[in-house]
Structure 1
Amino acid sequence: MERPDDSGERPAWTPPADDHREQRSTVWLTVILFAVFMAVMLVVAVLVVGGMKESKAGAVQPRQPTVSPSSAPSVSRPPVPTRKYETAGNPLVAPGVTIPKVTCELPKLGGTKERLEAFYRALIPCLEQAWHPALTQAGEPRIPVAVNADDVGNTACGPPPPASEAMGFYCSDGATIFVPSPRQLADGGPDLLTQLFLLAHEYGHHVQEQSGILSKHDSLYREADGDRPKILDLSRRLELQADCFSAMFLANAAGRGSIGAGLVSQLRQSTFESSDTHGSSKSAALWQKRGLKATDTSACNTFAAPASEVS
């Protein structure tokens, strides 16, 4: 069968004149293919090595000292505050929570606002030294407190109570103790025992705020929804606990520094006026006595006491 372009005439066979060229071209083709193969392998090798270098560079870590587990230094971290919004079940008034003995170096009281402020500035750090260990034991936060001796007309918590009802007061918004100087300087000037008990009482409210007791009290107050007997009962428990905290502090500060041991005897002999919001004179004397004799803060758990003890 003839191909379309075939003439039909075929010459006689003769040995191929260019046979050596065909062999030579075959050799060259083999060389070229080998060269291409080697080039490809070289490129692959470069890419692999480069990738290894790049991955190693990315994995480089700074050298760390080798420390055996037995000699590794222990890292102590402060406990995370676990504030509990509780009253009777608050960790602060759990058995075993104590405050240490403290030494207060205080300037002498004087009949001016400046002298009062100097006295307060020295007393606050002493109160902190006593109460911060207790708050730490209870795992509660530690919040600084400010003291304001101005005769303010309003606060972040609202208008101040009348002078006839309170010589001082505490506002949790801003954590400030207000002790208006005109109230302290009236009636012949400031008295040492009165000022010590007053500021320690107001700082007691600050301790209640730090521990969550005050916040829970406020929540229960709102839940009372105007029920006056319930509201007054809550108020008396709060105030009598602050009295107990105040007495507990003075018992641990008396006989050292500027607070003589005789001040505790004076406090035992002092009397309190009865109040619907702060408690009867009998209840006030009871919690003051418990604070002076307390070995731990559980002695001041007024919110766990029967109603007869917080009348």
Structure 2
Amino acid sequence: MEWRGRRGSRNVEDRRGMSAGGVGGIGVVGTLVVLAVGYFFGIDISPIVGAIDNGQTETGESRPLTPEEQEIGQFVSVVLADTEEVWSRVLPEQAGMQYTDPTLVMFSGAVQSACGGASAAMGPFYCPNDRKVYLDTDFFRIMQQQMGAGGDFAYAYVIAHEIGHHVQNQIGILGKVNGLRAQSSQTDANHLSVLTELQADCFAGIWARQASEQFGTIDDQDISEAINAARSVGDDVLMEKAGRAPMPDSFTHGSAEDRQSWFRRGFKSGQMAQCNTFGEAGL
């Protein structure tokens, strides 16, 4: 993926050199509570990477970013700019509405959002209350070293997936899902979460196709990286890596096979109408 020297987005908020803003040691239990009240939808990666919550608290201190962090920040900014250009064209054409750019917040360790506090153990997430994507950029290192899913386009897929949740929020999907989940059993609520995640994967595929056509900076190897990343964040794969037997009723994001399939579907079609996971599930 050729990204260096290209336009970055202005809608990036970099908190990586800041203190955690009073989040404190939210821990895995706190993460699960946050998930229960409706974040859309972080990946609980703590079972495979150990205790990565560093218990940051409000100190008022800051630190300079390393050269590597600065480069990652530039990369994130370019990918976000690409999503803005793609969706500002696709959403009016296919959904009849103007796209509203979200903000992407980069943080380290822990963060405070309009959805509450969260730790890096949650993985990247989208908060519909403030229309912001939250990303601890150290997740990219975890993807490479712990999940076997390295590569620039694999990381770009993660961002595009979270932007897919923003698209869902803008077209009204997330509000409906949240209402349905509140009235559902845990098993049914998990299933609704899976459908939401798979649609976001499909939207990420749409972005990949449009970005390839619009910018010409993506090749077949990049797409393979994204598909591999979709596989590695499948619920069954994460459970197996954590030494647990996969239990489909407890899936919240979808199996590796389904995540790859819906990404490919979005990439091949380029059409939002082909990403109706809810309709295909009879909802």
Output the TM-score relative to the length of structure 2.
0.62
Note if 1:144 corresponds to 2:104.
Answer: no
Cα contact 1:113–1:149 (8 A) shared by 2: no
Distance 1:175 1:185 in 2: 25
Does the 8 Å CA contact 2:210/2:270 hold for their aligned counterparts? no
2:280 paired residue number? 305
Q: Secondary structure of 2:118's match?
A: coil
* Kept after mapping to 1: 8 A contact 2:206/2:267: yes
Deviation at 1:273, TM superposition (A): 4.6
Fraction of identical pairs, as percent: 26
Structure 1 residue 154 and structure 2 residue 112: aligned?
yes
Q: How does 1:54-133 map to 2 (within 5 A)?
A: 106-107=3-4, 112-133=68-89
Change (3 A) 1:303 1:116: same
Q: Is the contact between residue 154 and residue 222 of structure 2 (CA under 8 Å) also seen in structure 1?
A: no
Change (3 A) 1:147 1:266: closer
Partner of 1:247: 205
The Cα offsets for residues 214-253 of structure 1, whole Å up to 9 and x where unpaired, read as 11111212232xx111101110000011111112211222
| Higher percent of residues as strand | 2
1:284 aligns with 2:181: no
Q: 1:125 to 1:269 in 2, by over 3 A?
A: closer
1:259 partnered with 2:218 = yes
Aligned to 2:133: 177
SS, match of residue 209 in structure 1: helix
Unaligned runs of 5+ in 2: 6-65, 236-250
- Aligned in 2, Cα 1:161/1:246: closer, same or farther, shift over 3 Å? farther
Q: What residue identity is the alignment partner of 2:78?
A: A
Q: Decide whether the 8 Å contact of 2:3 with 2:217 is kept in 1.
A: yes
How many Å separate the matches in 1 of 2:88 and 2:192? 25
Q: Identify which range, 208-217 or 267-276, moves more after superposition.
A: 267-276
TM-score by length of 1: 0.57
Residue 264 of structure 1 deviates from its aligned partner by 1.9
User: Residue 134 in 1 paired to residue 90 in 2?
Assistant: yes
1:191–1:160 distance in 2 versus 1, CA, 3 Å: farther
- Paired position in structure 2 for 1:293: 268
Q: CA RMSD in A?
A: 2.8
Residue in structure 2 matching 1:200, options 160, 165, 171: 160
SS at structure 2 position matched to 1:154: strand
Matched positions, count: 200
Q: Which amino acid aligns with 1:237?
A: L
Structure 1: unaligned runs, 5 residues or longer: 1-103
User: Secondary structure of 2:198's match?
Assistant: helix
Equivalent residue number for residue 170 of structure 2: 210
Counterpart of 1:300 in structure 2: which amino acid?
Answer: C
The question of 1:191 aligning with 2:151 is answered: yes
**1:190–1:146 CA distance, 2 compared to 1 (3 A):** farther
